[in-house]
Structure 1
Amino acid sequence: MVRQSFSRIIQLILVLLMLSLATFLLLKLAPGDPVLTILKANEGAVSQSDQDQVQEQLGLNLPLVQQYGLWLQGVIQLDLGKSFVNNRAVWDLMMDRLPATVSLTSGAIVVLLLISVPLAILGAKYKGKWPDHLSRLFALIGASIPSFWLGLLLIYAFAFKLNWLPTMGSGNVRHLILPSITLGFVMAPEYIRLLRSGLLDALSQEYVRAARARGIAEWRVIARHALRAALLPVITIFGMSLGALLAGSVVTETLFAWPGLGSMVMEAITQRNYPVIQGYVLLTGVFIVTANVLVDLSYSLLDPRIRSGRGRNV
């Protein structure tokens, strides 16, 4: 177990280094000249001396390897450069927006669990009957609905027609409801199918049959024995789907004008604000890679077969 953990940490460091290199090259390969982008805010003509001065300030006159080394040193110190638009530090901009994205993804996870767990349990308990058909139909429909279409439908129904909820913004908890439902709903089908399959497998195991033979109530057998075993693969999928969650938040935040990282990067893309795009790619990449490593380690802790080397190959 210790050797597996050490191996995962080494892999994490290597992947993060590769990610940092890819993120650094993003700015180098981007169209346009960053020096001119910075200076274009000036109303007067841009002289060659001004360009040379900014180039020297940014270290763009240095060899590429040296530029990467200085940039990586800055990243380690949480210095991701400054925005081309307002000259604010990129790290400060992202930290201002991060709480809104965290609250949105947390709300989406709650919605996801409220939808997927009950429907998966119903589908497994009543396999082949109408609750199971309903569960699978919901998963099929949910997987076919784009998040932006669902968001527009929810806005039309609950904001314009019923006037129950606000359409956009982040003033209070009511503003969080529609974006959370939009993001959580479109991710729920994958978890319904996976959890239902895991429950069906767990319900056929010997220890579940033994629990039933002891006279334990069926719902208690499912909640205490089968569900616990079925959640293990779900934990793995959650780490893998974190990227989809963050990608979905870009669309959802833009649609609902939610002031998170997703709407920030969309603004940066339209403005060609490359340092902000670069910082967003790096930050989300770190989140995803770290989450997957933590999921692997937690999976090893939760499943004794893996600690003994008989289970999932990590």
Structure 2
Amino acid sequence: MARYLMQRIGLALLVCVAVSLLAFTLLNASGDVAIAVAGEEATAAQIEAIREDLGLNRPLAVRYGEWLASAVQGDFGNSLFFRQPVAELIAYRLPNTMTLAVMALGVMLALSVPLGVAAALKPNSIIDRAAMLIAVLGQAMPNFWFALILIVVFSLTLGIAPPSGSATLGHFVLPAIALGYYSTPPMMRLIRQGMIEALSSDYIRTARAKGISGWKVVFKHALRNAVIPVVSLTAVQFGNMLGGSVVIETVFGIQGLGFLAWESISRMDLPVVQAVLLIVAVFYVVMVLLADFINAWLDPRIRTQ
């Protein structure tokens, strides 16, 4: 087990370094930061002075090495637009994004697990088709459009939920529903397929032949084996929620990492964009790593292979 864990941790570290290098290189190749900071009416001398002040005239490899060394210590430099340390901006915005992602994950699991199990118990029935219809609608609707519908219905018409902001947990209810429902279809289909395969296996037939109650067979035996790929997909979906919350945070006016990334990209604030990309990538890799550990604990065959 220890060897398996060390291999996965080493691979995760390599992925983080590769993502940081790719993000740093592509962002620096996307445009001239000095021109964006100086403005369109700046002279060549002024642009060159800004480039010298920001260290943009040094080799890219040197700048990347210095940035990565500082980022490991929690220093991401200063924002070019907000004029404050990037670490402070992230520390202020990250809790809102984490709250949204956790609540959206809860919405996704609350929808996908019952729907997937119900569809697997009655395949090709009305229940199965209704569950698949709900999943198809969730994947077909753009999340920003669904978010706007939620605002119109529950905020403007019924007045039971705030339309924007992040002051209380109530402000995250509608955004979490919009983000969680959009992530439900793949999870529901995976649970349905896993449960169908588990329920048709020999050990389930043996358990039923021994007189074990139906619900105990479903939830204790079948669902335990069907949940292994679900753990991995849950980790991936949580990472997607962290990185893909830009639209939802913008629609609902949530001051999170997604909205911060959108603001920074529109203003060519590269230090902030680089830091956000690295933070999201690290969270994504950590979640996948935790999913691997949980799967190895649930299924010993994974760690022995």
One fold, TM greater than 0.5? yes
**CA distance in 2: counterparts of 1:147 and 1:27, whole angstroms:** 27
Q: Does 1:297 align with 2:264?
A: no
Match of 1:158 among 136, 154, 158: 154
Query: Is the 1:26–1:278 contact (alpha carbons within 8 Å) kept by the matching residues of 2?
Result: no
Query: Is the 1:147–1:248 contact (alpha carbons within 8 Å) kept by the matching residues of 2?
Result: no
Consecutive unaligned residues in structure 1, runs of 5 or more: 310-314
SS for the counterpart of 1:277 is helix
Give, as a single letter, the amino acid of the residue that structure 2 aligns with 1:97. Answer: R
User: Aligned runs of 1:85-124 on 2, under 5 Å?
Assistant: 85-124=81-120
Give, as a single letter, the amino acid of the residue that structure 2 aligns with 1:5. Answer: L
Q: Does 1:287 align with 2:286?
A: no
* Identity, % of aligned positions: 38
Query: Is the 2:98–2:242 contact (alpha carbons within 8 Å) kept by the matching residues of 1?
Result: no
In structure 2, relative to structure 1, the CA distance for the partners of 1:65 and 1:173 (3 Å cut) is closer
Give, as a single letter, the amino acid of the residue that structure 2 aligns with 1:2. Answer: A
Query: Is the 2:4–2:303 contact (alpha carbons within 8 Å) kept by the matching residues of 1?
Result: no
Match of 2:230 among 228, 234, 258: 234
In structure 2, relative to structure 1, the CA distance for the partners of 1:156 and 1:47 (3 Å cut) is same
In structure 2, relative to structure 1, the CA distance for the partners of 1:76 and 1:263 (3 Å cut) is same
**CA distance in 1: counterparts of 2:240 and 2:118, whole angstroms:** 26
**CA distance in 2: counterparts of 1:70 and 1:188, whole angstroms:** 41
In structure 2, relative to structure 1, the CA distance for the partners of 1:173 and 1:13 (3 Å cut) is closer
In structure 2, relative to structure 1, the CA distance for the partners of 1:45 and 1:241 (3 Å cut) is closer
In structure 2, relative to structure 1, the CA distance for the partners of 1:171 and 1:13 (3 Å cut) is closer
Q: Does 1:35 align with 2:31?
A: no
TM-score (normalised: structure 2): 0.92
Query: Is the 1:27–1:275 contact (alpha carbons within 8 Å) kept by the matching residues of 2?
Result: no
Structure 1 residue 59, shift from structure 2 partner? 3.1
Q: Does 1:13 align with 2:13?
A: yes
Who is 2:4 aligned against? 4
**CA distance in 1: counterparts of 2:212 and 2:52, whole angstroms:** 74
SS for the counterpart of 1:272 is coil
| Count of equivalent residues | 305
Structure 1 residue 300, shift from structure 2 partner? 1.7
Who is 1:312 aligned against? none
Query: Is the 1:265–1:280 contact (alpha carbons within 8 Å) kept by the matching residues of 2?
Result: yes
Structure 1 residue 223, shift from structure 2 partner? 1.4
| RMSD over equivalenced CA pairs, Å | 2.2
